[in-house]
Amino acid sequence: MQAAKVANDQAIDRIPEGSFRAAVQESARRFKASWLDLARHLVRVRGEGSWQEWGFATFEAYCAKELRIKKATAQKLVTSYGFLAKHEPEALDDEETARKVPPVEVIEVLSRAEERGQLDEAAYRDVRESLWERPVEAADLKRELAKRFPEPEPEEPPVDLELRRFAAQARKLARDLGGSSRIPRAIAERAAALAEDVEGLCG
């Protein structure tokens, strides 16, 4: 494993200057200044399978090891780029428009809202002005959009599964307490009785 890492590091050091791979690295270094440039490169890397040619097992491994970008961040960049390609294609080709592109965190909120079916073309037009025309703090805009397109509350696990989990935890605690010489017998017995009561709720 260590030998493979050394070999990979050496390969990274030998990346030809002016190559596409070197351009992706450079865009990763400028990530905070221009997320769109890096996103464009990542879409191409993934689409063309360049990461395989460069000796990585997966696209995510390439992002993590060579670009120092987490899987979640890479996914955010790729999906946000796809959102712009659909709704603002001119931003991908026109330099003047590209400079107005909102932060990736803002585009991500819209992309996820669209995936959930909350954002259609009409809804996007309603928020577009605040995205592209008015200078607004990214954090404030993200909060505003999150309120307008809230993510659904996570579903609670079925009661029977939740009870079984509690029962298993209670039974483990009872066993652990009963097997310890430091725990008074009365406490261990109460723990065992509690476990039985919880197990009884499971039916």
State the pLDDT confidence band at 33, using cuts at 50, 70 and 90. low
Q: Same domain, yes or no, for 15 and 72?
A: yes
Domain end point (choices 154, 173, 191): 154
Q: Same domain, yes or no, for 6 and 79?
A: yes
Share of the chain above pLDDT 90, in %: 26
Provide the domain count of the chain.
3
Domain end point (choices 61, 80, 98): 98
Predicted pLDDT at 1: 42
Q: Same domain, yes or no, for 94 and 106?
A: no
State the pLDDT confidence band at 31, using cuts at 50, 70 and 90. low
State the pLDDT confidence band at 119, using cuts at 50, 70 and 90. confident
36-90 pLDDT per residue, tens: 889 999 999 999 999 999 999 999 999 999 998 999 999 999 999 999 999 989 8
Tell me the whole-structure pTM to 2 decimals.
0.60
Q: Same domain, yes or no, for 8 and 91?
A: yes
Residue 3 scores a pLDDT above 50? no
Q: Same domain, yes or no, for 52 and 32?
A: yes
* Long-range CB contact pairs, 193-199, < 8 A, 24+: 194/170, 195/167, 195/170, 195/171, 198/163, 198/166, 198/167, 198/170, 199/167, 199/170, 199/171
Q: Same domain, yes or no, for 7 and 60?
A: yes
Q: Same domain, yes or no, for 109 and 52?
A: no
Predicted pLDDT at 44: 94
Which range of residues forms the domain containing residue 121? Answer: 102-154
Least confident of 9-13, 20-24, 151-155: 9-13
Predicted pLDDT at 32: 52
Q: Same domain, yes or no, for 2 and 92?
A: yes
Q: Same domain, yes or no, for 134 and 180?
A: no
